[in-house]
Amino acid sequence: MPAATRRAYFDAALDLLAEHGFTGLNVGALCRALGVTSGSFYHHFGGWPGFVDGLLEHWENRQVLILRERNFGTGGPAADFAALMDLTLGLPHEAEAAIRAWAMNDETVRAAQKRVDQARLRTVGRAVEGIVGDRALARTLTSLGMAMLVGHQQLASAGEHTELATLLAEYTSLVHSRAS
């Protein structure tokens, strides 16, 4: 059997979450998806808690790494906002909806979800405030954007596909219409 990397396990886990929800994510499903034995899993993670911690860390850091690759913070608020909208299009939305459902049942996942939400609110909020020039308005618009993202993810996970690109285009127009 081929060797699997930690990253391969995390990618497979996100695929399983997207397809089967958090209840379909387990050692057996991961090993079948990767074509490896459970010994490989335990070699990499020691056990389920070690895997969950690693998966959540991978998921949390994903946004930071992508933004760094896109030189986030160097082109001004409008460029940063555009980069965030582009990043949003590429998120694993069904997997994120499953993580949010998992968070309702697991304190470790709930804490990670909260950190990701807070980081997104801070990052988007800074860009929006840079565009609109008003902290209170930026908080409102950022909350609206987060509600739109979470709502889209929940609908998509239930098979109700909305066109996220269209939603983000309208959101972008709204934010820029409030520019100072």
Question: What pLDDT does residue 2 have?
Answer: 60
Orientation angle between helical segments 107-132 and 164-177, nearest 10 degrees: 40
d(CA 105, CA 111): 11
Please indicate, yes or no, whether the overall pTM of this predicted structure exceeds 0.95.
no
In the chain the domains, ranked by start, together with CATH numbers, are 6-177 (1.10.357.10)
Token representation of residue 11: 């990618």
Query: Would you write out the chain's pLDDT as a tens digit for each of its 180 residues?
Result: 567 999 999 999 999 999 999 999 999 999 999 999 999 999 999 999 999 999 999 999 987 788 778 778 888 999 999 999 999 998 999 999 999 999 999 999 999 999 999 999 999 999 999 999 999 999 999 999 999 999 999 888 777 767 899 999 999 999 999 998
Question: What pLDDT does residue 125 have?
Answer: 96
Continuous H helices in the chain: 6-20, 27-34, 38-45, 48-69, 77-89, 93-103, 107-132, 135-157, 164-177
